[in-house]
């Protein structure tokens, strides 16, 4: 049952971001519409949601780049009106290009380091470490404007991390990054949260969302669902199933149905839906299959279900 439990009621004093009833309008458009969301310290929290659901707007509000029309928010223990005091503890990688195209990789990193007062040997060591992490050491003399899309993303991440922030806001950081480097990024993210940092990330890649401890699904400026990746699937109405290959499909399907299981015939196999994988044992004892496969629904299915709800879909 533990995988079905929603993550909630975390101790509020351990929240890196605590936001309540946020409202933001752009003209007639209400982009944040009563958004309430908490990001616990030391967590990787993934924001999912359709294009235009307000994810970037929320992230921008955390760093004070947009003025909210309503609601309350605390970031790293400060009210949002005083976020300037702790801005040096935040790293923000924007969804859009934010580096200087006419500076080299090295110079871009030096510039970001200087913004945070990082100098001398410490600066050199940090730049070397991060360029190695994003696998760009051999390109440090190239102009940022000449980089490929994925390389540019990698440099942006390195610049965002230069001052070792406590809160990392990463808006689609891995767009265009190849699978090997994406894996390196995620390993690095894990080491950062192990060290106590908090990461708020947006992505449209469901395999990345699966790696996060908490997933929040935003729709039309509100948080519609929140929990572990498994809990989100359950909230979307998706259950695990077990595919069985048996000798007598009809008799087995009847037996399982009479024991309260939902069974669907699927070609030469039976799909039996479970409330949780803990029920698998009972199903196997009843059906005694020749072969079987456990099937966990994907987060992508959950995303599609959640985005269809309310559209009559
Ligand atoms: N400065 C602005 N002025 C007017 N409208 C804006 C502004 N910024 C965002 N919007 C609108 O607010 C809505 C939410 O945008 P936002 O960028 O927060 O969405 P998102 O969830 O990040 O989407 P995506 O997945 O495409 O990145 C969109 O309709 C967008 O056009
Ligand atoms: Mg966005």
Residue 85 Cα to ligand 2 middle (Å):
26
- Its sign, for the CA torsion 225, 231, 232, 233, is negative
Task: Please state the atom number of ligand 1 nearest to the C-alpha of residue 50.
Answer: 25
CATH topology of domain 239-296: Alpha-Beta Plaits (3.30.70)
Residue 218 Cα to ligand 1 middle (Å):
13
Average pLDDT in the 73-101 region? 93
Q: What are the Cα distances from residue 120, in Å, to 90, 104, 132, 176? A: 22, 19, 19, 33
Q: Is the CB of 40 under 6 A from ligand 1?
A: no
Per-chain residues with Cβ under 5 A from ion ligand 2: 55-56, 95
Residue 164 Cα to ligand 2 middle (Å):
24
Average pLDDT in the 187-216 region? 95
Q: What are the Cα distances from residue 42, in Å, to 15, 55, 161, 226? A: 9, 20, 16, 17
Structural domain boundaries of the chain?
A: 2-234, 239-296
Q: Is the CB of 49 under 6 A from ligand 1?
A: yes
Q: Is the CB of 31 under 6 A from ligand 1?
A: yes
Residue 59 Cα to ligand 2 middle (Å):
9
> Ligand 1 atom 2: the closest Cα is on which residue?
26
Residue 108 Cα to ligand 2 middle (Å):
24
pLDDT-based confidence at residue 310 (cuts at 50, 70, 90)? low
Q: Is the CB of 117 under 6 A from ligand 1?
A: no
Tokens of 129: 């470490």
Helix 120-133 and helix 105-115, axial crossing angle in degrees, nearest 10 = 130
Average pLDDT in the 260-269 region? 94
pLDDT-based confidence at residue 311 (cuts at 50, 70, 90)? low
Instruction: Name which of 66-70, 133-137, 309-313 the model is least confident about.
Output: 309-313
**Does the pLDDT at position 116 exceed 50?**
yes
Residues 175, 56: Cα–Cα separation, whole Å: 15
**Does the pLDDT at position 6 exceed 50?**
no
Instruction: Name which of 2-16, 61-75, 96-110 the model is least confident about.
Output: 2-16
Tokens of 211: 């790696």
Q: What is the pLDDT, as a whole number, of residue 60?
A: 97
Average pLDDT in the 17-42 region? 97
Percentage above 90 pLDDT, the chain: 86
277, 276, 279, 288: which is closest to 249 by C-alpha? 288
Higher pLDDT, 22 or 175: 22
> Ligand 1 atom 27: the closest Cα is on which residue?
51
Strands 29-40 and 15-26, by their bridges, are: antiparallel
Q: What is the pLDDT, as a whole number, of residue 96?
A: 87
> Ligand 1 atom 17: the closest Cα is on which residue?
56
Average pLDDT in the 169-196 region? 92
Task: Please tell me if the domain spanning 2-234 has the same topology as the one spanning 239-296.
Answer: no
Q: Is the CB of 221 under 6 A from ligand 1?
A: no
Where do runs of H (alpha helix) occur along the chain? 55-62, 105-115, 120-133, 149-160, 179-194, 206-209, 229-235, 249-258, 280-287, 299-308
Mean pLDDT of the chain: 92
pTM greater than the 0.85 cutoff: yes
> Ligand 1 atom 12: the closest Cα is on which residue?
31
pLDDT-based confidence at residue 278 (cuts at 50, 70, 90)? confident
Average pLDDT in the 28-39 region? 97
> Ligand 1 atom 29: the closest Cα is on which residue?
52
Domain 2-234, CATH among 2.30.30.90, 3.10.20.30, 3.40.50.300, 1.25.40.10: 3.40.50.300
Task: Please state the atom number of ligand 1 nearest to the C-alpha of residue 172.
Answer: 27
Q: Is the CB of 241 under 6 A from ligand 1?
A: no
Secondary structure class of 252 (helix, strand, coil): helix
Task: Please state the atom number of ligand 1 nearest to the C-alpha of residue 221.
Answer: 14
Q: What is the pLDDT, as a whole number, of residue 75?
A: 97
Average pLDDT in the 256-262 region? 96
Q: Is the CB of 65 under 6 A from ligand 1?
A: no
**Does the pLDDT at position 12 exceed 90?**
no
């Amino acid at each position: 049952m533990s995988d079905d439990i929603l993550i909630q009621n975390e101790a509020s004093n351990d929240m890196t971001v605590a936001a309540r009833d946020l409202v933001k309008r752009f003209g007639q458009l209400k982009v944040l519409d009563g958004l309430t969301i908490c990001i616990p310290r030391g967590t990787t929290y993934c924001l999912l949601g359709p294009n235009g659901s307000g994810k970037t707007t929320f992230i921008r509000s955390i760093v004070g780049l947009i003025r909210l029309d309503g609601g309350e928010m605390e970031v790293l223990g400060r009210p949002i009106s005083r976020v300037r005091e702790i801005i040096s503890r935040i790293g923000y990688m924007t969804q859009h290009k934010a580096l200087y195209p006419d500076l080299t990789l090295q110079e871009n990193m030096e510039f970001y380091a200087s913004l945070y007062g990082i100098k001398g040997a410490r600066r050199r060591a940090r730049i070397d470490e991060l360029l190695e992490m994003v696998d760009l050491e051999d390109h440090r003399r190239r102009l940022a404007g000449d980089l490929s899309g994925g390389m540019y993303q990698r440099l942006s991440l390195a610049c965002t991390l230069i001052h070792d922030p406590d809160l990392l806001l990463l808006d689609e950081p891995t767009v265009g990054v190849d699978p090997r480097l994406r894996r390196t990024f995620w390993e690095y993210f894990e080491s950062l949260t192990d060290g106590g940092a908090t990461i708020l990330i947006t992505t449209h890649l469901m395999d990345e969302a699966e790696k996060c401890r908490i997933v929040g699904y935003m729709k039309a400026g509100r948080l519609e669902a929140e929990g572990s990746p498994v809990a989100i699937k359950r909230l979307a109405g998706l259950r695990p199933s077990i595919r069985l290959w048996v000798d007598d499909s009809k008799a087995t399907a009847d037996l399982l149905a009479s024991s309260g299981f939902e069974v669907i015939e699927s070609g030469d196999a039976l799909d039996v839906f479970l409330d949780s994988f803990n029920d698998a044992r009972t199903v196997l004892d009843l059906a005694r299959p020749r072969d079987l496969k456990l099937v966990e629904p994907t987060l992508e299915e959950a995303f599609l279900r959640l985005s269809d709800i309310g559209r009559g879909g």
